[in-house]
Amino acid sequence: MEVYLDNGASTKTDIKVVKAMNPYFTKYYGNASSAHSFGLAARKAVEKSRSIISKKIGAEPNELIFTSGGTESDNAAIIGAALANIDKGNHIISSNIEHPAVMNTLKYLESKGFKVSYLNVDSDGLVNIKELESAITNKTILITIMHANNEIGSVQDIQKIGRIARSRGVLFHTDSVQSFTKEEIDVKKQFIDLASFSSHKIHGPKGVGAMFIRKGVNILPLLHGGGHEFNKRAGTENVSGIVGFAKAVELSNEKYNTIMRRLRDYAINNILKIKNSRLNGSFEKRLVNNINVSFKGIEGEAVLSRLDNAGIMVSTGSACSSKSLELSHVLKAINVPSDYIQGSIRVTLSRFTSKKEIDYFINVLQKVVKELSEMSPYGV
Partner 1 sequence: MEYNKKVMNLFNHPKNVGEVVGASGVGQVGNPVCGDVMRISIKVKDDRIIDIKFKTMGCVAAIATSSMVTEMVKGKTIKYALKVTNLDVAKELGGLPLIKMHCSNLAADALKEAVKDYQSRKVKIDK
User: Binding ligand PLP by CB under 6 A: which of 63, 175, 229, 299?
Assistant: 175
Strand 3-4, strand 64-67: pairing: unpaired
For residue 83, CA distances in Å to 79, 113, 352 come to: 6, 11, 42
Min dist CB 220 to ligand PLP, Å, is 20
The burial class, CB within 10 Å (0-12 / 13-18 / 19+), for 218 is: exposed
Q: How far apart are the first and last CA of the chain?
A: 30
Annotation marks residue 147 as catalytic:
no
Provide the mask over 208-237, with x wherever binding to ligand PLP is found by CB under 6 A and - wherever it is not.
-x----------------------------
- Rounded-to-integer distance, Cα 298 and Cα 294, Å: 9
Shortest CB 71 distance to ligand PLP, Å: 3
Using the minimum distance from each CB to ligand FES, give the nearer residue, 91 or 306.
306
Q: Which does 146 bind (CB under 5 to 8 A by kind): ligand FES, ligand PLP, partner 1, none?
A: ligand PLP
Q: Which of the listed partners (ligand PLP, ligand FES, partner 1, none) does 71 bind, with a CB threshold of 5 to 8 Å by partner kind?
A: ligand PLP
User: Cα 86–61–67 angle (5° rounding)?
Assistant: 60
The C-alpha atoms of residue 380 and residue 236 are separated, in whole angstroms, by 59
Contact letters for ligand FES, residues 306-345 (x by CB under 6 A): -------------xx----x--------------------
> Is 71 a residue that touches ligand PLP (CB under 6 A)?
yes
Q: Taking CB positions, which residue lies at the least distance from ligand PLP?
A: 70
Q: Provide the residue type at 52 as one letter.
A: I
Return the amino acid letter for 353. Answer: T
Cβ neighbour number for residue 75 with a 10 Å cutoff: 20
Least distance between ligand PLP and beta carbon 266 (Å): 24
SS3 state at 246: helix
70 contact, one of ligand PLP, ligand FES, partner 1, none, CB 5-8 Å limit per kind: ligand PLP
Q: How many Å apart are CA 63 and CA 51, to the nearest integer?
A: 10
Of the residues 101, 213, 248, 341, which one makes contact with ligand PLP according to CB under 6 A: 101
Of 9-17, 183-191, 253-261, 371-379, which segment contacts partner 1 by CB under 8 A?
A: 371-379
Given strand 344-348, what is the order of strands in its sheet?
A: 277-279, 290-295, 344-348
Pairing of strands 194-198, 209-213: antiparallel
The span of 112-120, 132-140, 258-266, 319-327 binding partner 1 (CB under 8 A) equals 319-327
Q: Residues 42, 46, 69, 358: which binds ligand PLP (CB under 6 A)?
A: 69
Catalytic residue among 86, 320, 375, 380: 320
For residue 177, the partner it binds in ligand FES, partner 1, ligand PLP, none, with Cβ less than 5 to 8 A by kind, is ligand PLP
Does residue number 182 form part of the binding site for ligand PLP (CB under 6 A)? Answer: no
Closest of 331, 348, 203, 334 to residue 288, by C-alpha: 348
**The only residue of 5, 299, 315, 353 in contact with partner 1, by rule CB under 8 A:** 299
Cβ atoms within 10 Å, residue 366: 15
> Of ligand PLP, partner 1, ligand FES, none, which one sits near residue 99, judging by CB under 5 to 8 A according to partner kind?
ligand PLP
Q: Are 173 and 43 in contact (CB under 8 A)?
A: no
Cα–Cα distances in Å, from 252 out to 49, 181, 255? 14, 6, 9
302 lies in the site for partner 1, by CB under 8 A: yes
CA dihedral over 30, 34, 36, 39, signed as positive or negative: positive
Footprint of ligand PLP on this chain (CB under 6 A)? Answer: 69-71, 74, 99, 101, 146, 150, 175, 177-178, 198, 200, 209
Catalytic center residues: 320
Binding residues (CB under 6 A) for ligand FES: these are: 319-320, 325
